[in-house]
Amino acid sequence: MSTFTIPDENVVSCGDMSCEFLVNPIPRPKPPAIKVNTTPENREIVFVDNNKPNSIAILRGAQAILRARGVPVREEIKVKLNASISLDEAELNDLVSRGGLIFCGVSDCGSCSASSALDSILLQQRGAAGVAVLTRPFSSQLERVGTYYETDRPVPLVVLDHPMQNLSPDEIMARSTALADSAQAILESVEKSA
């Protein structure tokens, strides 16, 4: 009969915790499911830029399109210093206090997509209407992060074409238009259900 012993050193996590399922399962308490909020306190779109190449250009383009359509959009775009690190408590609280429909992105890699997904879930956890903005190859990151944060229904997600880098002005405008269309559709669906 073999005896299980605890290793002298802890296994280092890969960062997104998926390896813990295979290598180093850590028992975690199961908190109650987060109630997903799609109804912002204020009828306003709020953008969070993760500081990736072309992300701010896409967000600014979406702002201009939405304004031209008469959709209220906050002028200030919160810019994260590091795309792969989630928002800290003060940043989350600041965004929650704005009360709008908060779009986190634009993310186009594994770590930044996981971070934007987590940001949207952490905003939801605090009662704000957080939405992740990811590119197609990384759209599953929201579901993966959601493994650790159970929600009563899916967190809203906007999926844009990949890549985000090395784009022509027309390609940037196409992504801005797609984001504006999605943001407006989410906001209008909230208004219809209210």
2 occurs within a structural domain = no
61 occurs within a structural domain = yes
174 occurs within a structural domain = yes
89 occurs within a structural domain = yes
- What pLDDT digit, counting tens, does each position of 144-186 carry? 998 889 999 999 999 999 999 999 999 999 999 999 999 999 9
Question: Domain range spanning residue 122?
Answer: 39-193
Element (H, E) at 171: helix 169-193
Angle ∠(189,50,40) on CA atoms, nearest 5: 25
User: Which residues lie across from 34 on neighbouring strands?
Assistant: 151
Give percent of the chain with pLDDT exceeding 70.
85
**Structure confidence at residue 65 as a pLDDT band (50, 70, 90):** very high
Total count of domains within the chain: 1
189 versus 17: which is more confidently predicted?
189
- What pLDDT digit, counting tens, does each position of 70-93 carry? 999 999 999 999 999 999 999 999
86 occurs within a structural domain = yes
17 occurs within a structural domain = no
What is the number of other CB atoms lying within 10 angstroms of the CB of residue 80? 22
**Which residues are CB-neighbours of 88 under 8 A, at least 6 positions away?**
none
Q: What's 51's domain CATH number?
A: 3.40.50.2300
